[in-house]
Amino acid sequence: MKLTRRTFIKLTGVAGIAGSAGCGEDDVSELDPMEEFDSPPDEVLDAGADEPDAAVEPDDAGADFDSGAEPVVDAATEVRLDVPVEPPRDASVEPPRDVPVSVPRDVPRVDVGRDAGTTLPVRDADFRDLPERRTQFPLGVMAGDATDTSVMFWTKYTGKSPVVLRVLEMDGGRIAAVRFNGRVTPSGAGFVRAIVTGLRPNRKHLYAFLLGGATSPSGRSLTGRVQTAIGADSLAPIVFGGTSCSSPRAHPFPVLQQAGSRDDLDFFIHAGDHIYADLLGTAVTISQYRGKYSDSWASAGMRALHGSTGQYLTWDDHEVFNNWNPETVAPGRIAAARQAFFEHRATRRNADDRDRLWRSFRWGRTAEVFVLDCRGERRPSSRSTDPSRGSTYLSRRQMDWLKSGLRSSPCVFKFIVNSVPIVDRAGADGDNWNGYASQRREILNHIANNNLRGVVWLSGDVHFGGVCRVEAAGPWSNIWEVVMGPSGSNRDGRPDIRPAQWPVLVNDVHNYALFRADPATRSLTVDFINEDGNRIPNSRWTHTF
């Protein structure tokens, strides 16, 4: 790998978690040792770089081999490539009237790198006939947080020898170019999180993690697929999927396995409750959270879905425990859950705030995907259904970022990934936006008063699916929400809703939502798909914005 510059960053660790104050039933007095919080910053790799083989011999019988050396990067250091940053795409857009000019736009930076391919000939690059080494890569692979020029790649690795990541740009079934072929460095706990830059927009890629060297591998991980986002000015249509609520009682998740069998999705969204850390035993420590993820990620459905297309992911409550309260839960427990969240996903960590989950991604001028954190920043002590009383569902920074981003986005569709619905559903409790009425009013007024077209909320949490207006009447009645899933949780009976507000209701069936967004006609079509791959009767919805 050709490094332009090496920067060694000293980690500060997670300070003070063992000494957090008591919090009743949620208090954690003893957590796993501090060294288990092994989270070096993510590697950034240039797609123009080529990594020479490590000086190790292939294992016999195709099994993993051990060079006798520890991984290159330990828990205290990391190697990162410095890459230039593209100017913000919306720099010429006037700031919104109701957001301070100082609030950054803060779309994830577009990584710019060389796109010269590698020295590995295309004829030698195909890894698909290599044997899969599931023992060394038990949780499959994942790619996520794709921009038009970069993607994060992820796996969990149990071996000690070097690991090679190979990324192939595809033209149908033909390999068009080798975009990356080099070593990547697992963390001390075995997690690989590597961002490859310098990719080309709107290209499909195959990737795998390889054993045995960059030019003569002896085995591989599961093979994954991912597509880079369409170019910055493109108005091409997109197709994507989404779901939520994957209870382990539905293991091995047949509906996710069906979604993972598709080859027509540009990306997939999971709106939270991706695991249930509080079901079939409750996780408290980092090792226990890792165990919950391992049990779930090893399933046929999760492996198939995660490897089938790029992912945009957030959390809800069960990634920590049901309806957890950030104000009262022991900080160490939240830190453990958050650490495990990032360890098990191809989800980028923000350079300036590593705990932050909210971020956005553009697919040309067709769509922008805003991924929210609706759990980690709320303040339940401020909960109120009185909109005149201030409440905090999102932090002020996150709220201003969302408002600024919606107002300045040049995209036809603006999808807000929102773990808990914003609809004023009959029978709903104060756990959702309705319990934080002042902020609900603030964001919905912002959308309505600025006449922002194409805003669609994408939600989960409630164990049924459907399409609804966020209000039955009034200025917010033209704002729509799609409730996705569940993909594995309780298939509830018919919920308490206002039928005229819900043109589509899907209950008592595991599902994922299939979206087709066409900017030329400004039309969005949503179908709900069951585990057999069939559209659920009466579940199609089409709307022109």
Q: What pLDDT score does 286 carry?
A: 98
The residue out of 196, 228, 260 marking a domain boundary is: 228
Q: What is the pLDDT of residue 57?
A: 32
pLDDT tens for residues 239-279? 999 999 999 999 999 999 999 999 999 999 999 999 999 99
CATH number at residue 242: 3.60.21.70
Cut 0.75: pTM above it: yes
pLDDT-based confidence at residue 433 (cuts at 50, 70, 90): very high
CA distances for 401 relative to 104, 263, 398, 406, 460, angstroms: 7, 34, 5, 9, 22
Provide the 3-class DSSP secondary structure of residue 411: coil
Tokens of 54: 């490590």
Q: Could you read off the pLDDT of 116-155 as tens digits, one per residue?
A: 346 789 999 999 999 999 999 999 999 999 999 999 999 9
Rg (CA), the chain: 23
SS3 20: coil
Residue 515 C-alpha from the chain's centroid: 17
Q: What is the pLDDT of residues 80-116, one digit of tens each?
A: 333 333 333 333 333 333 333 233 333 333 222 233 3
Quick one: average pLDDT of 324-349?
98
Residue-wise pLDDT for 344-396, tens only, equals 999 999 999 999 999 999 999 999 999 999 999 999 999 999 999 999 999 99
Round the average pLDDT of the chain to a whole number and report it: 84
- The verdict on whether omega for the bond into residue 486 sits within 30 degrees of 0, i.e. cis, is yes
Dig out the tokens for 100 from the structure.
Answer: 């301070």
Q: Dig out the tokens for 483 from the structure.
A: 């409730």
The answer to whether residue 283 is domain-embedded is no
Pair 113, 214 in one domain: yes
Asked which of 197, 228, 259 is the last residue of a domain, the reply is 228
Please give the average per-residue pLDDT across 315-321, as a whole number: 98
What is the structure's pLDDT at 210?
A: 98
Cis omega (within 30 of 0) on the bond before 162?
no
> Do 130 and 159 contact (CB within 8 A), yes or no?
no
Q: Do 136 and 255 reside in the same domain of the chain? A: no
Distance between CA atoms of residues 275 and 255, nearest Å: 15
Buried/exposed code over 325-338 (b: 16+ C-beta within 10 A; e: otherwise): eeeebbbbbbbbbb
The total number of structural domains in the chain stands at 2
Assess whether 213 and 127 both reside in one domain.
Answer: yes
Q: Which one of 228, 256, 281 terminates a domain?
A: 228
| Same domain as 262, residue 135 | no
What is the C-alpha separation between 54 and 512, in angstroms, rounded? 43
Q: Residue 34: what residue type?
A: M
Is 412 in a helix, a strand, or coil?
coil
Average pLDDT over residues 224-231: 98
Residues 24 and 168 in one domain: yes
Question: 């594995």: which residue's tokens?
Answer: 488
Asked if residue 146 and residue 4 are part of one domain, the reply reads yes
Q: How far apart are CA 214 and CA 524, in angstroms?
A: 43
Is residue 152 within 8 A of residue 42, CB to CB? The reply is: yes
Q: How far apart, in Å, do the first and last CA atoms of the chain sit?
A: 47
Q: What pLDDT does residue 513 have?
A: 98
Q: Is residue 331 part of a domain?
A: no
| Strand, coil or helix: 524 | strand
SS3 393: coil
Digit-coded pLDDT (tens) for 401-420? 999 999 999 999 999 999 99
**Pairing of the two strands 413-418 and 151-156:** unpaired
Question: Per the structure block, which two tokens stand in for 425?
Answer: 């559903």
What pLDDT, on a 0 to 100 scale, did the predictor assign at position 493? 75
Instruction: State how beta strands 359-363 and 310-313 pair.
Output: unpaired
190 in any annotated domain: yes
310 in any annotated domain: no
Residue 215 lies in a domain: yes
- Across residues 37-65, what is the average pLDDT? 52
User: 244 and 123: one domain?
Assistant: no
Q: Are residues 96 and 200 in the same domain?
A: yes
Q: Are residues 483 and 522 in the same domain?
A: yes
Q: b vs e for 530-543, b when ≥16 Cβ sit within 10 Å of the residue's Cβ? A: bbeeeebeebebee
For the record, the structure tokens of 394 come out as: 């999102």
Q: What is the pLDDT of residue 39?
A: 66
Q: Indicate if 265 and 155 belong to the same structural domain.
A: no
pLDDT digits (tens, 9 = 90+) for 1-29: 433 333 333 333 333 333 333 333 333 33
With respect to residue 43, please indicate whether it lies within any of the assigned structural domains. yes
Contact 248/283 with Cβ under 8 angstroms?
no
260: domain range? 238-272+357-544
CA distance 208 to 141: 8
Does residue 326 lie in a domain region? no
Mention every residue, 6+ apart, whose C-beta is less than 8 A from residue 12: none
What pLDDT shows up at residue 114?
30
Residue 280 forms part of a structural domain? no
Token pair 């995907």 is found at 369
- Pair 155, 207: CB distance under 8 Å: no
Kindly provide the residue ranges of all beta strands, DSSP E only, lying in 348-454, ordered along the sequence: 359-363, 367-371, 413-418
Quick one: 27 and 60 in the same domain?
yes
Three-state DSSP class for residue 492: coil
In this prediction, residues 189-212 reach a mean pLDDT of 97
- Predicted pLDDT at 213: 86
Confidence of residue 494 (pLDDT cuts 50, 70, 90): confident
The residue assigned the tokens 């990594």 is: 51
Domain match, 400 and 525 both: yes
- Strands 413-418 and 455-459, by their bridges, are parallel
Q: Which CATH number is 100's domain given? A: 2.60.40.380
